[in-house]
Amino acid sequence: MENPGKKAVYIKTFGCQMNERDSQAMENRLLREGYAVAVRQEDADLILFNTCTIRDKAYQKAMSDIGRSAVHKKTRGAKIGICGCVATQSKDALLTRFRHVDFVLGPDHIAELPMIVAEASAGSRSAQADHVDDPGKYVFIDGASKESIATASAFVTIMKGCNYACSYCIVPSVRGKEVCRPADDILAEVKQLVERGVKEVTLLGQNVADYKALPEMSEGQPRMKLGWLVRYLSSRSSIHRLRFTSPHPRDIDDDLIAAYRDETVLCDHIHLPVQSGSNRVLKAMRRRYTRERYLDLVDKLRTARPGIAITTDMIVGFPTETEAEFEESMDLIERVQFDQIYAFAYSPRPGTHAATIFADDVPVTDKQRRLSALFDLERTCARQKNEACVGETKHVLVTSIDPKKPGYYTGRSSDNRIVNFPSEINCIGNIVPVHITKARGHSLTGEWKP
């Protein structure tokens, strides 16, 4: 820990990129208040658990870690807070369950963190976790800060919440309704990040493709959505690369597809969650699109940006899913040839429509068998895609030293592939051309000649 005279904060993050971005925002708020960053919990005066409640595995791991943190209350007198989606879902119940926890803070209240910490230091225990869905009251916190460590890439939140109601998903209840950030605020943060040496920005939102720069305009006028924002940031900043995550397929419109055709700043990659290849299951999931609509989007994206990498999310063992419907998902994978799949066995989340309406009737053994078969197919597709890259030159944003190979660096290509290569020069933070010589399951190896 640097600056041993300062109070120190340790933040443990569970979950998605939104949680990672929220943790960075909390850290920056505390750095401005004079805190240092602790590397270990036992060195911290303030311990924050920023945790997901979307998937049961992450939730259970977080609850276990929070329970074990009580020792630091006894030995060091550390203040302990629970943040993130779980705070919004459980609120005061967390204070009852964990008597050593000082406060519970929802993601819509990060701006209030210094005040909440001060109140906890004075002996108060509180839960501040209600939604803030009024655009006039919601505060978007910059992730950029002169106090934070410079990196080659960064997340920028452009909206929060989700107006959909997918039957398996708890996001709308824990993150609230959609609130979009003003475009000028987004631009200001991107410019600040560029000044700090950031080359790549990922635009974040639970339903990022439904971003709207202004309230819906009168009939006949265009809505300034994500495609417009990409052009706006590209034309007014010197950012090298833009990505975004995660979109709903229903919101991928022709203007965003045209941005893939026209805007080279937009990376050669889209994460496009499909969840299932069965129309009946998609309807039960309340996804509001069909298999055919999804395949049409894939065709349009590949026409607009030849070679675009497409990754996705899938759920196996959704209630009532039959073997034949699972095979429809496998067939979709074969047809699309995804570059990578993040797949999960369905687990009911309390408070969701699916958990209320459907019995969790697919046996665990069937879920695991289907998941294993899906991953076998995914690995085959990914390896074939990577092998096709051998002989190509990828422009790689170098992010770190390869921890497994001394003298090797690692980074990410525009099409979202991890690339490792040897270099005698410290090239972290630069975009370098790497000639690909070898393919692995989920990474590439190559050579760079400065």
At 218-229, the pLDDT tens digits run 345 556 899 999
Query: Which one, of 197, 202, 189, 203, lies nearest residue 151 by Cα?
Result: 197
Q: Do domains 133-267 and 276-388 have the same CATH topology?
A: yes
Q: 146 pLDDT exceeds 70?
A: no
**Distance, CA of 29 to chain centre:** 21
Tell me the per-residue pLDDT of 53-69, one tens digit each, with 9 for 90 and over.
766 677 788 889 999 99
- Range in 151-155, 204-208, 295-299 with the lowest mean pLDDT: 151-155
Average pLDDT over residues 4-16: 84
Tell me the per-residue pLDDT of 156-172, one tens digit each, with 9 for 90 and over.
999 999 999 999 998 88
pLDDT, the chain, mean: 91
Span 393-447 CATH architecture: Beta Barrel (2.40)
Tell me the per-residue pLDDT of 393-430, one tens digit each, with 9 for 90 and over.
999 999 999 888 889 999 999 999 999 999 999 999 99
**CATH class of the domain whose range is 8-128:** alpha beta
* DSSP type of residue 424: S
* CATH number attached to the domain at 133-267: 3.30.750.210
Report domain extents, the chain: 8-128, 133-267, 276-388, 393-447
Q: Which fold has domain 276-388?
A: Transcription Regulator spoIIAA (3.30.750)
Band (1; pLDDT cuts 50, 70, 90): very low
Tell me the per-residue pLDDT of 77-102, one tens digit each, with 9 for 90 and over.
999 999 988 888 888 889 999 999 99
- Range in 31-45, 79-93, 375-389 with the lowest mean pLDDT: 79-93
**Which SS3 state, helix, strand or coil, does residue 407 take?**
coil
The pLDDT assigned to 139 comes to: 74
What contacts 58, CB < 8 A, 6 or more positions away?
14, 15, 51, 52
- pTM here is 0.86
Q: 148 pLDDT exceeds 80?
A: no
Band (214; pLDDT cuts 50, 70, 90): low
Average pLDDT over residues 270-296: 98
**Which SS3 state, helix, strand or coil, does residue 80 take?**
strand
Residues 379/388, Cβ–Cβ less than 8 Å: no
